[in-house]
Chains A and B, each alone.
Chain A
Amino acid sequence: MIGFFNDMKTLTRRNLLRLIRTPEVLIFSTIQPVLFVILFDSVFGGSISPLGFDSYTDFLIPGIMVQTAMFASINTGIGVAEDMEKGAIDRFRSLPISRLAILFGRTNADSVRTLAVSIVVVLTGLLFGLRLTENLGSILLGVVLSVLFANSIQWAFVLMALLVRSLEGVQAVAFLPTFPLVFAASTFAPVENMPGWLQVFAEYQPVTTTVDSVRGLFFGSEVLEASGGSLATSITLTVMWIVVIFAVFASLSVWRFSKN
C-alpha cells in the first residue's frame, strides 16, 4: 500500500512536470474557456433569462466550468494512448511498481490541471460581472465537486484509450459521448425549455446534476428552487453519479490494464 502511494506520487509528479513543460497546451486550454465565456455570454445573454438567476453570466459560469472540465478529460485518454504508443507504459510496467499507480498518476495530474483551469474560469467570470453570493468554502466546494466529476469522467477516457490503443482513435471517438452530455444538459440553457423527450434525459444526467450543484453552491439553493429543484437533490445525485462512474470505469480500466 505504501508502495502504491509512493509510485502514484512519483508518476503524478512526472505527469505534472510534463504539463509544466508544455506551456502552450496550458495556455490554449485556458484561452478556450475564456473564449466560450465571451461568446456564450454575448450571444445568449440577451435572449436567455434563466428563472431565479440575477444574470445569464451567473447561470453560464458554472456551466462553462463543468463543460471545460468535461472536454479536458479527453486529454486523459489522449495522454494514456500517447504513453502506450511511445513505450512509456511498457517501461513503467517493467518496473517493480504497483501498476495501478500508472493510471492513477495520470488522472491525478489531469485533475490538478482541471482544478487550475476551473479557477481561471471563475476569475474570468468575475471580470464579466459574475456575482458569487455564497461564502468561499461553499464556492471552493463547488469547484472541487466539478473537478471530482471530471476525475470520474477521465476514467471513462482511460478505458477508451486502453481499448482503442491509439491517439487518433481516442480523438475520433471522444466527442461522441461528450457532446450530447454537455449540450443536452442545463450547461448553457435551462432544461425546462427543451422538447419533452430530451428533458427526460437532460434533467437527470450527470452534467446537469453537477452544473446545478455548482450553481447551488455558488449562489444558494434558491436559484435551483425557482425551477423546482434543490441543492440537496442535485448534490446527492451528483455524488451518486461520481461514485458510479468512477467505480465502473476505474475498475474496468484496471481490469483491462492488468489483462495486457
Chain B
Amino acid sequence: MAAQNPSFESLASGDAIIEARNVSVNFGDVHALIDASLTVPEGQVRGLLGPNGAGKTTLVNVISTLLSPTSGTALVNGFDVTKQGKQVRSIIGLAGQYAAVDNLLTGRENLEIVGSLYQLSRSEAKAQANDVLERLSLTEAADRPVKTYSGGMRRRLDLGASLVGRPKVLILDEPTTGLDPRIRIELWDFLKDLVTEGTTVLLTTQYLEEADALADEITLIDSGRVIAEGTPSALKEKIGGSSLVLATRNSAEIAEAARLVAAIGNAEPVIDEDKASLSMHVDSDSGAIVQAAQALDSAGIAVSELALQSPSLDEVFLRLTKGGN
C-alpha cells in the first residue's frame, strides 16, 4: 500500500468514477462497515462479493447517498455523497435487493414516473420508457399491471427503472437474489449488453459465479471489511496452485494412491473413502499430474478420474472469509 500522500491521492483518483475512502458505518454498537475503501475506474464492472450481512448493502447505500457514513468519504464522479447528494443522485441508477416497482401500476407507468423524477419532460420520459421496455423485452407486457408479471420480469423492470435516467453509474444490489438459475442467466445477458455501452456498474452479489461471469474486478468484503481485491483470475491465483483430483476404480486402493501422490505434491491429500477419491493441493506448473499418472500406472492402480482443477472462486471465498476453511 502506497503512503497516503494527498497529492498522489488526487492523481490516483483521476479516472476513478467511484471512490470510497476509509468509510465506516456504525449502527449503535454494530460496526457494519470498518474502514472500507473502494476505487472503481470509469466503465468497469465491479463485483462486491460477500456473504449475507458482510456490509455490501451498507457500502452501496453510502455510495448511493441513502446512508451517511459515520466516518470517511465517498465520491461519485467527483461529487461528495454527503455534501453533493443531489448531483450524485442525478448520475446514478439504483436497483435494490427487492424489486422496488409498483405492483398496482403498469410497467410503463412505473418507468414514466421514475423518468419524471429524473426531471425528464413528459415526452422525454415517455420516449425513455419505451426505449427501456424494448431493451428489456418488456414491450408486450408494458401496459399490464406489474402484479401480473413473473419474478424475472419484475426484476427486469426494476433494472429498467434504474436505466431510465441514463445513469453513468449503475448500482445493482443483489439483482438476481431469489431468481431461479435460468432467469438469472437471462438477466446476466441483459447486464452484459449494458456494459458494452460503457456504463460503470457496481454490483453486489453473494453468488461467486455471478461475480465471475460479470465482473472485471472483484472486491471481497466480510464482516464489514474489505479483505481482498482483484480480477477473478488474480484472486484465484492468490490461493495459488491447483487441485489434483483422482478417483480409483477399486475403493480399496485409494489409500495406496494417496500415499503415492503425497510423495509427489508435498501436501496432505484429502481423501473421500466413500467415493474412493481424493484431492490434493499442488503447484500449478509442477507437472504433478504427469508424475501422478506414472506413479499410479507403475503401481498398477486403475483410476476412473485424474484431473488438475484450477481453484474456483468458491475456494478463494471460503479461504478468505472467516466463515469457512
Q: Which residues of A contact B (CB under 8 A)?
A: 3, 6-7, 10-11, 13-14, 17-18, 21-22, 86-88, 90-97, 260
Contact = CB atoms under 8 A, between A and B. Distances in A.
Contacts of B94: 90-91, 94
Interface in B73-111: 86-87, 89-90, 92, 94, 96-100, 102, 104-105, 109
Given A7-B117, A91-B161, A94-B65, 20 more contacts: A10-B116, A11-B113, A11-B117, A14-B105, A18-B102, A18-B104, A21-B105, A21-B145, A22-B104, A86-B100, A91-B114, A95-B114, A95-B117, A96-B86, A96-B118, A96-B119, A96-B165, A97-B89, A97-B119, A260-B66
Interface in B141-164: 145, 161
A105 B89 CA distance: 20
A257 to B, nearest CB: 12
B105 A93 contact: no
Given A95-B89, A96-B86, A14 B119 contact: no
A10 B113 contact: yes
B178 to A, nearest CB: 13
B104 A21 contact: yes
Contact of A17 (B86, B109, B117): B109
B64 interface: yes
A99 B236 CA distance: 44
Contacts of A96: 86-87, 89-90, 117-119, 165
B109 A91 contact: no
Contacts of A86: 98, 100
Contacts, number: 70
A9 to B, nearest CB: 8
Contacts of A91: 94, 96, 100, 114, 161
A8 to B, nearest CB: 11
A95 B118 contact: yes
B119 A6 contact: yes
The 8 closest A-B pairs by CB, nearest first: A87-B100, A96-B90, A91-B100, A94-B94, A21-B104, A96-B89, A10-B116, A95-B117
Contacts of A97: 89, 117, 119
A165 to B, nearest CB: 13
A90 B96 contact: yes
B263 interface: no
Nearest to A21: B104
B219 interface: no
A260 B67 contact: yes
Q: Which of the listed residues A13, A93, A96, A260 has the most CB atoms from chain B within 10 Å of its own CB? A: A96
Contacts of B96: 87, 90-91
B277 interface: no
B68 interface: yes
Contact of A94 (B64, B97, B109): B64
Nearest to A93: B66
24 contacts: A6-B116, A7-B117, A10-B113, A11-B113, A14-B102, A14-B113, A18-B104, A18-B105, A21-B104, A22-B104, A86-B98, A88-B102, A91-B100, A91-B114, A92-B117, A93-B66, A94-B64, A94-B65, A94-B89, A95-B165, A96-B90, A97-B119, A260-B66, A260-B68
Nearest to B87: A96
A171 to B, nearest CB: 20
Contacts of A95: 89, 114, 117-118, 165
A255 to B, nearest CB: 14
**Max chain B Cβ within 10 angstroms of own Cβ: one of A7, A14, A86, A91:** A91
A14 B113 CA distance: 7
B66 A90 contact: yes
A97 B100 CA distance: 17
Contacts of B65: 93-94
A105 to B, nearest CB: 10
A13 B104 CA distance: 13
Contacts of A18: 102, 104-105
B66 A88 contact: no
Nearest to A89: B100
B97 A3 contact: no
A7 B120 CA distance: 11
